[in-house]
Chain A
């Protein structure tokens, strides 16, 4: 059996490892257009901040490909899929054939679509090359940085460079930062906190042009004002790399549509990771949950199915974690509900904020700012749709932790099959 995997990041590598675990004799080829392999994208902002070096970016051992007997084509792009001939056309003019294919091409930063975006000193942060570029530039007399977009990546960039002492302006069109991740109230706490560290958020504004001759010298805002800066980072979110799939007529929406087994809409092709649109556990709808752990898990499940071990994908859970200058935030599930029938409970202390989204005695989502150590406990309540009707006050309390929900776990023990849950229940 010949397996091909396009994309060598979280989803692609976890798939390779799983296929090799099942099928010792298979031919496995992984093709990725990045030369620097096996690094964790999520760590790039830590590289920018100077808290780690390039060695620490690696999430697998150096000999990962050899050990798993994977033919890795690094720095090679797949330009075309021929689904009839079962063949991939590569940028090095070679062709490789496959019996089973995984498309794990991930996502790329969205562009702003404004004049001047091609000037030197304008970056997005997605790859090691981007990070090196930003680091290089920031060592060349940069003082002021404009970050376009107040999403997760924008905020991580802001932290990384703010941490190094640059003067940071974050430009956000909406009335708050992190608008995908949380409600306004939590976002305002974070905004006030990062301001103390030199990160200034300018809301209700967007850049309309990037100024400078060859190199960035500033930006024009949609209120007509000019902002001087030597470095611009675009953080407008990501778009899944679905072009290859579209070309051969696979069903796509935002990402490549995957069924419950992560198969794409044509035989012999699967998909996983940031490019994959699969079931969301909480809403039941198909979504792209562009998260590292989701990509790893989807890679694993897709691989099981590719290698003939039929395995249902349980679904992904939308969640995120962020730490900015010592203030931690975690949100899970539905944090900004649309429609009626939701009950919102909040609690606030001097150094923490908690917001729960409840509907019909079920916890749908939550946001924690400041005190996050019990986030995963809320997570299992959300994931398993546990009835929390008598526990709403307890969930809000400051001393909430795993022990507090043990009675709920006992009541719905059939939902918690993993042995660790059962072991704890033995004496309760």
Chain B
């Protein structure tokens, strides 16, 4: 485990202005959560590895989204078997597959469409921040840097910096406007 993953409050954010809807993140997520962890082999796996991120249209834009690891996570409050819980160090919302009974109470209260039903094992499934990977698979796969891993403050700073007058000027020059 890298130190990076011990940092508090890290989650995956999507810069909607940059998302193209290529679904590279969805694919990378499914592969990361396959047994083989490699595209060519993972597609043959049964059951087919499932993605925990979704890419979807928002009116005329597109976004990639998944578990927000909510501070006051509704899913944790709703889970009657304590399968959903908060990591006391990182604040990540974690899911213990062994405790889960597939009652879908968490799905009933998650505002972000972040939980998926694993119907084979009858358990809930969601973003686990890639515990077996030094990187975050979706972030690494994103060709436009729309996906970002960091704390909410870091994401805010990045967005603010991008929309500062200086940064806007830079983009305009680059794109030839």
Residues of A within 8 A of B (CB): 10, 40, 42-43, 46, 51-52, 56, 59-60, 292-293, 296-297, 319-321, 323, 326, 328, 330, 332, 372-377, 379-380, 399, 401-404, 406-407, 418-421, 423-424, 426-428
List, in ascending order, chain B residues with CB within 8 A of A43's CB: 80-81, 101
Docked Cα-Cα span, A40 to B109, in Å, equals 19
- A328: nearest chain-B partner, CB-CB: B104
Q: Quick one: which of B43-68 are within 8 Å of A by CB? A: 54, 56-59, 61, 63, 65, 68
- A377: nearest chain-B partner, CB-CB: B113
- Chain B 8-31 against A: per-residue CB contact (8 Å), 1 yes, 0 no? 000001111110000000000000
Contact B72 A418 (CB under 8 A): yes
Query: Is B105 positioned at the interface, with any CB of A under 8 Å from its CB?
Result: yes
List, in ascending order, chain B residues with CB within 8 A of A293's CB: 77-78, 80, 105, 109
Q: Quick one: which of B77-131 are within 8 Å of A by CB? A: 77-78, 80-82, 99, 101-105, 107-117, 119, 122
If A376-B110, A379-B111 touch, whether A424 touches B103 (CB-CB below 8 Å) is no
- B73: nearest chain-A partner, CB-CB: A420
> 9 A-B residue contacts at CB 8 Å?
A40-B82, A43-B80, A52-B101, A56-B99, A292-B105, A375-B104, A420-B112, A421-B111, A423-B152
Contact A330 B104 (CB under 8 A): yes
Query: Is B141 positioned at the interface, with any CB of A under 8 Å from its CB?
Result: no
Among candidates A59, A372, A420, residue contacting B71 with C-beta atoms closer than 8 Å: A420
List, in ascending order, chain A residues with CB within 8 A of B68's CB: 420, 423-424
Q: Closest Cβ of chain A: how far from B103's Cβ, in Å?
A: 6
The residue in A51, A328, A377, A402 that gathers the most chain B C-beta atoms within 10 A of its C-beta is A402
Q: Closest Cβ of chain A: how far from B38's Cβ, in Å?
A: 27
Docked Cα-Cα span, A247 to B108, in Å, equals 38
Contact B61 A296 (CB under 8 A): no
Docked Cα-Cα span, A427 to B63, in Å, equals 10
- A384: nearest chain-B partner, CB-CB: B111
Contact A420 B56 (CB under 8 A): no
List, in ascending order, chain B residues with CB within 8 A of A10's CB: 80
**CB-based closest 8 A-B pairs:** A403-B56, A420-B68, A376-B110, A402-B113, A42-B80, A293-B78, A401-B113, A427-B16
Docked Cα-Cα span, A59 to B96, in Å, equals 13
Docked Cα-Cα span, A56 to B103, in Å, equals 14
Docked Cα-Cα span, A265 to B7, in Å, equals 47
Among candidates B14, B16, B80, B115, residue contacting A40 with C-beta atoms closer than 8 Å: B80
- A60-B82, A319-B109, A419-B152 given. 9 additional CB < 8 A pairs? A42-B80, A323-B103, A372-B108, A375-B107, A406-B63, A418-B71, A424-B65, A427-B18, A428-B16
